[in-house]
Amino acid sequence: MKFRQLQWSIKDLIENRGQIDPAPQYQRGSVWSDKKKQLLIDSILMGYDMPKFYLRRSQGSYDYEVFDGQQRMLAIFDFADGKIPLAKASDELADNAGAYFDDLPSALRRKFYVYNLTVSSCSSATNDEIRELFRRLQEGVRLTPPEIRNSMPSAIGDVIRSMALTHAFFKASCFTPERFQCDDLLTHAFAFADAGPSCDLKAPNLEVLYKKHARHCSSALIQSVNRTLSFMADIQKHQTKSINTKWGFVDVFGVLNKNPAHRMKADKVAMRYKTFESKRRTAMREGIERLNVSDDPIFDPSLYRYIERFRLSAGTMAAVRERHQILTKHLIS
């Protein structure tokens, strides 16, 4: 990798924004709250120092991609675009609290534009080197487990990222790509397809999956996940967005992945899952003790065990295995 230090003003950054990819694959999208963005703008107008930005020279449709400083860059763009007002943070700026960029006095607008940024431009770097540097730069910053996994160089990670963005199940689901939510679901799915219900589905174990398939992800494993996910997409066609919780997704995937889809019909499985979820939600709302009362309309001791196994230890091997057995009986037995 080669680095070149640049000095840009915020005006330079804004003028170059069309040449900067703000959301390369390993980044997480805009996640800062307006309050955090406003504090950054206040700091800029107060003249406080800011950490450097890291940009990678790109060979694609952009000249650069941002791999550190994404949230600060997006906050600057939002303020310049009039999406957020100045907050009341510093006494010196109190008279302008609530003002949007275009409403600021010309002196403050100029101060914002001329604020100096240090930009480190990186060239001759491989994707793996960029991901590794990104991970090191983020040390000490709280990233979610899916964000951490996504920054790891891994063949299975690339497969998961692509499938999360393109598969029909996610296009018709209530899950969103924000903070790699769909990637997280798929990572659990691949872990189950790889090892079955005989492994813990916790963050450290899922990182091991990325390392295990760092260089190669077999076509058999990819096809296994894709077949099951396609069957789940068919279920969603019969019962729109019925699979709408993380562990509901994981458990349904587990049941379907380990039972041949050709023996099942999507409409029947969809109806059974709707019934199961309706009873589960009623119990969660009105008290799961009802499930153990023999003359109660929702009497179902096995569902009680299912809920208890989830509440006590959702991702452990024992809990996953028992929920898998219970849900199998409800959906396809």
- pLDDT tens string 202-227: 888 898 999 999 999 999 999 999 99
Q: What is the pLDDT of residue 159?
A: 95
Same domain, 132 and 187: no
Instruction: For the chain, report the end-to-end CA distance as a whole number of angstroms.
Output: 57
Q: Which of 8-12, 120-124, 147-151 bottoms out in mean pLDDT, i.e. has the lowest? A: 147-151
Residue 288 pLDDT more than 90?
Answer: yes
pLDDT of residue 26: 58
- Residue of higher predicted confidence among 196 and 240: 240
Q: Which of 99, 115, 137 lies at the terminal end of a domain, its last residue?
A: 137
Q: How many CA atoms lie within 13 A of 15 on its CB side?
A: 7
In this structure, are 237 and 179 located in the same domain? Answer: yes
Domain match, 261 and 285 both:
yes
Return the percent helix, strand and coil in the chain, to nearest 5.
60, 10, 30
Residues 210 and 237 in one domain: yes
Between CA 181 and CA 226 the distance in angstroms is 18
Cα separation of 34 and 37, whole Å? 5
- Dihedral sign computed on CA atoms, order 301, 304, 310, 316: negative
The tokens of 98 are what? 């609530």
Give the separation between CA 150 and CA 160, rounded to whole angstroms.
9
Q: Which of 28-37, 138-147, 148-157, 166-175 has the lowest mean pLDDT?
A: 138-147
The larger pLDDT score, comparing residue 31 to residue 293, is at: 293
Same domain, 118 and 154: no
Domain shared by 204 and 94, yes or no: no
Both tokens of residue 278?
């309706």
Q: How would you classify the pairing of strands 64-68 and 53-57?
A: antiparallel
Question: Residues 166, 80: one domain?
Answer: no
Q: Which two tokens stand for residue 238?
A: 């019969």
Neighbours of 321 (CB within 10 A): 16
The confidence band for 24, taking pLDDT boundaries of 50, 70 and 90, is: confident
Mean pLDDT on 176-183 = 82
Asked if 279 and 130 sit in the same domain, the reply is: no
Q: In DSSP terms, which residues pair with 64 in a beta bridge?
A: 20, 57
Q: Which residues, including other chains, have CB under 8 Å from residue 251's CB and lie 6 or more apart?
A: 320, 323, 324, 327
Q: Are residues 37 and 153 in the same domain?
A: no
Which tens digit of pLDDT belongs to each residue from 299-319?
A: 999 999 999 988 877 888 888
Is residue 125 located within the same domain as residue 168?
no
Number of domains within the chain: 2
- The reply to whether 155 and 229 lie within a common domain is yes
Cα-based angle 151, 167, 262 (whole degrees, multiple of 5) = 125
pLDDT at 135: 72
Q: 25 falls in which pLDDT band (50, 70, 90)?
A: low
Phi-psi region of 238 (alpha: psi -120 to 50; beta: other; left: phi over 0): alpha
Q: For position 61, what pLDDT does the model report?
A: 84
Inform me whether the pLDDT recorded for 88 exceeds 90. no
Q: In this predicted structure, what is the pLDDT of residue 142?
A: 53
CB 75 within 8 A of CB 41: yes
pLDDT of residue 178: 73
Tokens of 31: 């996640």
Q: What is the pLDDT of residues 28-44, one digit of tens each?
A: 667 899 999 999 999 99
State which of 111, 137, 163 marks the end of a domain: 137
Which pLDDT does position 31 carry in this prediction?
A: 80
Distance in angstroms (rounded) separating the CA atoms of residues 217 and 143:
25
Label residue 180 left, alpha or beta by phi (over 0 means left) and psi (-120 to 50 means alpha): left
**pLDDT at 126 > cutoff 80:** no
Average pLDDT, the chain: 88
d(CA 271, CA 268): 5
Domain end (from 84, 110, 137): 137
Flag whether pLDDT at 291 surpasses 80. Answer: yes
- Kindly state the average pLDDT of the residues 159-186: 90
Q: Which residue has the higher pLDDT, 81 or 48?
A: 81
Residues of the domain holding 325: 145-331
For residue 22, give both structure tokens. Answer: 């703000």
CB neighbours (10 Å) of residue 140?
5
- Residue 2's H or E segment, with its range, is strand 2-9
| pLDDT of 262 over the 60 cut | no
Q: Are residues 123 and 150 in the same domain?
A: no
Q: What is the pTM of this model?
A: 0.61
The β-bridge partners of 66 are 55
